[in-house]
Amino acid sequence: MNSPVACVSHDVYDSKKMHTVRSSIWVSDPFKAYEQKEFLKIITYALSELPGRLAQVFILREIVELSSQEICELMDISVCNLYVMMHRARKRMRHNLKLKWLCETEKS
């Protein structure tokens, strides 16, 4: 079995395989990685500002992508209650994101 270092160094020096190296090592642009990291910090902040159950519902629906029925069974709530909670969570997330983004852009 080849060590990963040996495989990578072989690929780096093999001009025919250079496209493979670019796609496997330099997959993400450093600027995009930084943007993603900053975006995750802002999303985490916005989620942390939500009350517990609203955050749970939002995460289960928008991130975990559970169905409405699954969320209702899991959290023991009605479908109507789920829709109200999602509306409130989205509204607060939008507000929190606007506040955080404005603060971040003013710092720059």
Q: Apex CA 64: angle with CA 61 and CA 67, to 5°? A: 45
Least confident segment among 32-36, 56-60, 104-108: 104-108
| CATH architecture of the domain formed by 4-107 | Orthogonal Bundle (1.10)
Eight-state DSSP code of residue 64: S
Which of 34-43, 46-55, 84-93 shows the lowest per-residue confidence on average (mean pLDDT)?
34-43
Domain ranges across the chain:
4-107
Mean pLDDT of the region 71-78: 96
Going by pLDDT thresholds of 50, 70 and 90, the confidence category of residue 15 is very low
Write down the pTM of the prediction: 0.63
What are the start-end ranges of the H helices in 14-78? 18-25, 30-48, 52-58, 68-75
Residue 107: predicted pLDDT: 66
10 vs 82 pLDDT, higher one: 82
